[in-house]
Amino acid sequence: MSRAWILKSRPAGMPGPDNIALVDLPSQPLAEGQIRVANRWLSVDPYMRGRMNDVKSYVPPFQIGEPLQGGAVGEVIESANPAFAVGDKVLHMAGWRDEAVVGPEMMPQKLPALGVPDETFLHNMGLTGGTAYFGLLRCAAAQPGDIVFVSAAAGAVGSAVVQIAKLKGMTVIGSAGGPDKVAFVKELGADHCIDYKAGPVLPQLMAAAPKGIDVYFDNVGGEHLDAAFATARQNARFAICGMIDVYNDGKPQEMKYLIRTIPARIMMRGFIYTDYMAEFPVWQQEMAGWVTSGQMKARTTVMDGLDSTLDAFLGLFSGANTGKMLVRL
Amino acid sequence: MSRAWILKSRPAGMPGPDNIALVDLPSQPLAEGQIRVANRWLSVDPYMRGRMNDVKSYVPPFQIGEPLQGGAVGEVIESANPAFAVGDKVLHMAGWRDEAVVGPEMMPQKLPALGVPDETFLHNMGLTGGTAYFGLLRCAAAQPGDIVFVSAAAGAVGSAVVQIAKLKGMTVIGSAGGPDKVAFVKELGADHCIDYKAGPVLPQLMAAAPKGIDVYFDNVGGEHLDAAFATARQNARFAICGMIDVYNDGKPQEMKYLIRTIPARIMMRGFIYTDYMAEFPVWQQEMAGWVTSGQMKARTTVMDGLDSTLDAFLGLFSGANTGKMLVRL
């Protein structure tokens, strides 16, 4: 017997008990290639809301009557796959349940023995840390001495960008909304942090970076991106990770400074984490060193017990979390 | 004695005889490092209007009382520079005059012996051809088999892009304004050419490129650029050469499809011709082969005599030219 959150119906607006329910599922025998995993940590993320709709996106929608999915870390308790032994710790996508039957479609990966806490594979050692690392160092090819601007700098990805950039000898200017988040970004080591809720971005960025910027790590698009075009120095590089400003409205982005692409020879490029899959071992090795030495921090909000998963998820949208939201089983 | 067009006063609007005049200049002896050149071909270009204003831009403004400058090809008739001999053909920036004293600041270059007409160094073998070549093949890294979209495809740069792309085995979709220009672009070998004056760009581009585009060579920005974002295929590359749509108004560009940068992993980069100076010999060798074999064409409008230079220049703005405007001395 296992317990899992299933999608009962597609929500309009925020999901509630009519849409998502915790149910008992009969234990099923393993097919060849599958493993049974006792989950220890579950990740809840804003992108999961999109998968509750019946709309094609980066990832396919959740299916009605089926368990929800998401990043999870657990321990193998039964194996019908020679690559995994009982007792192995694995990262996989069969979250939202206490015990998971994990086939190849759930992308199980053994946690490398790097001496870091298991749950870090759901943030700094996982998607958010890898997105920060590869976006900054590969997509934007940021170098020591560069002046780096990062939006949503208090977020899970942005706060990793701030720390990695400082560890690599860069000057960092963050942007965040409100004094608490600004203070957090400075605690992480940012040289400056602008408060986009306190006034327009461009004059604040010009004051924080009077010589201009070499790198922009974009999580939001819109006004921040335009300010980056305005202040870009020669051969500036923009890594485009997200444009959360425009996910919900369909309004055009008004770009006044896009034309600086030519005189400043700006290079702008979109990426996602898995584009750099071949380099995951290199990144995880370096990141593990920073995590174990305490040079790389992550704020997490932890809720306990499978029953709390829906509240944890809904909390993402009501501001209940600071940093990465996790559920501990 | 030589004759030169000098800037008498800075024009408001189009320049006239009060602003620009043809005057006699006394012959001056050569200083060390200078050469005296009898000009044979002069280039007139729209960017020269900007240099008549007292405003810093890519290039410094023309000085009042001094001869105007511009690309020119001529023959050395006296030399105080050991690198140049009498009889050498040179490309340099001391145009707008019949006889020029050319020092290093005018960037004289001996025409390489490539068997092409001298005046081609003012178009396909020069700035416009090089801009097309490097923008397409280096900045956008276009490959055989790519689907290439190019705006202002009937212009000097755009028409070179169309031809180079076809010579390299690409599918080419041009955009031009009006049936005559569209017909010209098709004559150059483009697979399709949309008429942006006949309707919105995006639906026309989607019909011409149902599979999407791999490369966009941007000369105009605005609606064309947004349509390129909308139709970009995976790993599409945009070379940003110009944004003539926004040179004169200061209005923001409304970008609805910029967000496709992320899922399509679009790379957008600005460039100018001289970024690739180290590769000029390689390019000129390949281009000369296409020019001498007749595979690379250029439309030119030729006016005769130094006296016609101002009319030639003004003709650029009244549509008197088809393709590259040249003055023959």
Q: Which of B243, B265, B270 is facing A275, going by the closest CB pair?
A: B265
Under an 8 A CB cutoff, do B252 and A250 touch?
no
A255 — contact with chain B (CB < 8 Å)? yes
First and final C-alpha spacing in chain B: 16
On whether both A118 and A133 belong to a single domain, the answer is no
Q: Is the domain of B182 the same as that of B94?
A: no
B118 with B159, same domain: the answer is no
Tell whether B139 and B110 lie within a shared domain: no
Q: Tell me if A290 is assigned to some domain.
A: no
Identity of the residue in B242, B250, B253 whose CB atom sits nearest the CB atom of A255: B253
Select from B222, B268, B227, B270 the least CA-distant residue to B246: B222
| CATH code of residue A12 | 3.90.180.10
Count of domains in chain A? 2
A269–B264: do the CB atoms touch at under 8 Å?
A: no
B58 touches chain A (CB under 8 A): yes
pLDDT tens per residue across span B102-139: 999 998 999 999 999 999 999 999 989 999 999 999 99
* B52 and B132 share one domain: no
Mean pLDDT of A280-287: 95
Query: What residue in B sits closest to A257 (Cα-Cα)?
Result: B252
What's the one-letter identity of residue B88?
Answer: D
Mutate to test the interface with B, among A138, A217, A229, A258 (most CBs of B within 10 A): A258
Q: Is residue B286 part of a domain?
A: no
Share of chain A above pLDDT 90, in %: 82
Do A61 and A132 fall within a single domain? Answer: no
Inter-chain residue contact A262 with B243, CB threshold 8 Å: yes
Mean pLDDT of chain B: 93
What pTM did the predictor assign?
0.88
Tokens of B61: 């403004």
Q: State the pLDDT at residue B246.
A: 67
Whether residue A288 lies inside any domain: the answer is no
Predicted ipTM of the assembly: 0.86
Listed by number, the residues of chain B in 287-306 with a beta carbon closer than 8 Å to a beta carbon of chain A are none
Cβ of B269 within 8 Å of Cβ of A271? The answer is no
Q: Classify residue B287: in a domain, yes or no.
A: no
pLDDT above 70 (res A237): yes
Domain boundary residue, one of A274, A289, A313? A274
Please give the residue that has the higher pLDDT: either A102 or A46: A102
Q: Once rounded to an integer, what is the mean pLDDT over residues B81-91? A: 97
Question: What is the rounded average pLDDT for all residues in chain A?
Answer: 93
Residues B107 and B205 occupy one common structural domain:
no
Beta bridge partners of B193: B174
Are A285 and A130 a contacting pair, CB within 8 Å? Answer: no
Q: Is residue A279 part of a domain?
A: no
Residue A58 has what pLDDT? 63
Whether residues A219 and A110 share a domain: the answer is no
Structural domain ending residue among the three candidates B258, B274, B290: B274
Report phi then psi at A138, rounded to 5.
-105, -60
Asked if the Cβ–Cβ distance from B254 to A253 is below 8 Å, we say yes
Domain match, B112 and B199 both: no
Cβ atoms within 10 Å, residue B277: 10
- A247: domain CATH number is 3.40.50.720
Question: Considering the domain boundaries, does residue B288 fall inside one?
Answer: no
Domain co-membership, B256 together with B201: yes
Residues of the domain holding A219: 127-274
Mean pLDDT of A102-111: 93
Same domain, A108 and A27: yes
Quick check: is B292 in a domain?
A: no
Whether A138 and chain B come into contact, CB under 8 Å, resolves to no
Does the pLDDT value for residue A308 go beyond 80?
Answer: yes
DSSP state of B136: I
Query: Distance of CA B269 to CAs A152, B160, B192, B277, Å?
Result: 24, 19, 25, 17
Structure tokens at A111: 């946690």
Are the beta carbons of B243 and A258 separated by less than 8 Å?
yes
Identify whether B289 is part of a domain.
no
In this structure, the answer to whether residues B143 and B110 fall within a common structural domain is: no
Chain B residue closest in CA terms to A247:
B259
